[in-house]
Amino acid sequence: MWKIADVEIESRLFLGTAQYRNPELLRRAIVESGTQVVTVSLRRQSKALHGAENFWGLIQQSGVRVLPNTAGCRSVKEAVSTAQMARQVFDTNWIKLEVVGNEHTLQPDPFGLVEAARILCEDGFYVFPYTNDDPVVAERLLAAGCRILMPWGAPIGSGRGLQNEYALKVLRDQFPHTPLLVDAGIGAPSHAARAMELGYDGVLLNTAVARSEDPPKMAKAFAQAVEAGRLAYEAGLIQVKQKAEASTPVLGTPFWQHELPRGTL
């Protein structure tokens, strides 16, 4: 068990709900992943919108917590308004805050993100900010009232994995008591495992599962990778070395003496 946003949960895998080819694949992926938190977009999947009842029913039947997001928002005003509507629609003060700053990379706008986070935290939200891997921005978000950080591994949907492990390590070292989740860019279970090996508390992903050939099976693979990575971190990885070191010691190892042919001495 681990605690996040004042709630104790078991799974460290958060799953997105977009891009699935049909609702049944989404349902099975949620089951196989073992996730207890899924993200939903108010604009695309609001239960208040016509035609979304089946989706909302599926989420409710799955028994998972909903983490609404402000996906697609380009300004502070837009993000704050979307978050406030999401709170009414989904009856939760959790919000994944996104404020897009670059159309090519969909990188967060750090200035707008911090301002929106401050407004929402003061309004009683528990803000999950999708941010970059800059420790200065991280400090500003925490000062604004955030109690969790979600730095990207790579651009959203790119599947490129952890593009700057050094920066992610710096964040982990600088904020040892802050829950950290890698959000965006995860493309393979090995990427998720590596994030967990670095000491991150969890990962949030969507495209890598939803767009795979077999989403339920891929969801299960990610669940196992996250668990393996966390266990490895807790067990303590060995130090990386530049030279070889024999795993079997030579000192004290017996050796056989062979009888030499007569006349050789």
The token duo for 111 is 């200035």
Tokens linked to 160: 């490129």
Side-chain half-sphere CA neighbours of 212 within 13 A = 22
Q: Which of 3, 96, 220, 241 is catalytic?
A: 96
Bridge partners, 65 (sequence order): 37
Beta strands 2-4 and 7-9 are: antiparallel
Q: Is 96 a catalytic residue?
A: yes
Take residue 106 and report the two structure tokens written for it.
């969909």
- Which pair of structure tokens corresponds to residue 51? 């035609």
Cβ atoms 187, 158 nearer than 8 A = yes
Cα 23 to Cα 138: distance, rounded to the nearest angstrom: 36
Structure tokens that stand for 206 in this block: 């969507």
Whole-Å CA distances, 183 to 58, 130, 158, 206, 261: 24, 7, 12, 9, 71
Helices (H), the chain: 23-33, 42-45, 53-62, 76-90, 110-122, 135-143, 165-174, 189-197, 207-210, 215-235
Phi-psi region of 44 (alpha: psi -120 to 50; beta: other; left: phi over 0): alpha
List the catalytic residues.
Answer: 96
